[in-house]
Amino acid sequence: MDRGVLEAVHAALLERHGPQHWWPADSAFEVIVGAILIQRTAWRNAELALARLRGAGALDPERLAASAPDEVAAWVRPAGFYRHKSVRLIAVSRWLQAAGGIAGVAGLADEALAASLRALPGIGDETADAISLYAFERPVFVIDAYARRLFARLGLIRGDEPYAELRAACESALARDAAYYNEYHALIVAHGKQYCRPRPRCTECVLAARCTVPRGGPFDLPARRR
DNA sequence: ACCCAGGGTCATA
DNA sequence: TATGACCATGGG
C-alpha cells in the first residue's frame, strides 16, 4: 500500500464529502452499542433500534446487563439478527460492568483493550477495531466491506486478503493517528454508500480516474479469507 | 421480485 | 485452511 496514493485518496474524499464528524453518537457506550447493531445492517435500521433502546431507558450498560435476552431482542428488532445482537449487547454490557465501566476500560492499553473486545461473543476483528477507534480513540485503521471494495477497485489490493493483513498494510503506510483514521474510515463509508457499492455507481465519483472497475460492471469482491 | 446493508459464527470436508 | 449456511429487518 503506497502512502502517497492513500493520502491522495483521503484528500480527494475529504474535498468531495467534507468532514464526517464520526462516530454519530452521544457517548462511548452508544458507540459500542451502535457498532454491534450496525453489523451487516443499514445504519437507518441500527438507528431505529437505538431509538427504541433509548425510549425504553435501556441505552445503559447497567440496565442492559440486567435485562433478559428476549426483552433486549424486542428493542433491537429493527436492526435485524436480533437474537444474536441482543446476546451480544448483554455480554458487552456485563463485561463493562465487571471492568469498571467505560472509565475502567478506557485505562486499558491498546492491545489489552483489543484482546478483551475480541474475546466477547459477536465482536470480531472489524467490530473490535471500530470500537477501539471510535469509542476509545485508539489509532486503528478499520477495514470494512467498503474499504475492502474501494481499495480493490483502485487496484491496491486483491480484496480477499485476511483482515489483519489489510489493516497492517494501511497502518504501516500511514502515520498512526487516531483522528486521521477516524476521518478516513468515515469518508470511505460516506463515499461507498453513494458510489462504491457491489454494483458500482461511478457517475461523478471523484476517484473515477484511479478506479479500475469496468464501468457499469457488476463487479464485487472475491470471498474473503481469514 | 430482487438487491443491498459500516459482520460474525458454526458446521463440514 | 477454506468454503457454505445461517442469522433478519427495512428501504430502494
Q: List the grid coordinates of A145.
A: 466491506
| Confidence check: pLDDT of A130 > 80 | yes
pTM here is: 0.96
- Section A51-77 average pLDDT: 98
How does pLDDT run across A80-95, given as a tens digit for each residue?
999 999 999 999 999 9
Rounded CA-CA distance A152/A193 in Å is 16
**Distance from residue A61's CA to nucleotide C8's C1', rounded to whole Å:** 25
Residues 6+ apart with CB under 8 A from A108: A116
Protein residue with the closest CA to the C1' atom of nucleotide C2: A225
| Confidence check: pLDDT of A218 > 70 | no
- Type of residue numbered A101: G
Average pLDDT, chain A: 95
pLDDT band at A219 (very low <50, low <70, confident <90, very high): low
Residue of A64, A60, A63, A25 lying closest to A46 (CA atoms): A25
Task: Return the pLDDT at A212.
Answer: 87
Rounded CA-CA distance A110/A185 in Å is 19
SS3 A105: helix
Residues in chain A: 226
**A116, A138 Cβ separation under 8 angstroms:** no
How does pLDDT run across A110-129, given as a tens digit for each residue?
999 999 999 999 999 999 99
**Distance from residue A92's CA to nucleotide B12's C1', rounded to whole Å:** 30
| Confidence check: pLDDT of A168 > 90 | yes
- Section A56-67 average pLDDT: 98
Give the gyration radius of chain A's Cα atoms.
18
Q: Taking all atoms of strand B, which protein residues have CB closer than 7 Å?
A: A 22-24, 34-35, 38-43, 45, 80-81, 84, 121-128, 130, 134, 144-146, 189, 192-193, 197-199, 218, 220
pLDDT band at A217 (very low <50, low <70, confident <90, very high): low
| Confidence check: pLDDT of A215 > 80 | no
Instruction: Strand C: list positions under 7 Å from protein Cβ.
Output: 2-4, 7-11
Rounded CA-CA distance A133/A185 in Å is 10
Task: Return the pLDDT at A220.
Answer: 72
| Confidence check: pLDDT of A224 > 80 | no
Residue A160, nucleotide of least CA–C1' distance:
C2
| Confidence check: pLDDT of A9 > 80 | yes
Rounded CA-CA distance A53/A59 in Å is 5
**Distance from residue A193's CA to nucleotide B6's C1', rounded to whole Å:** 9
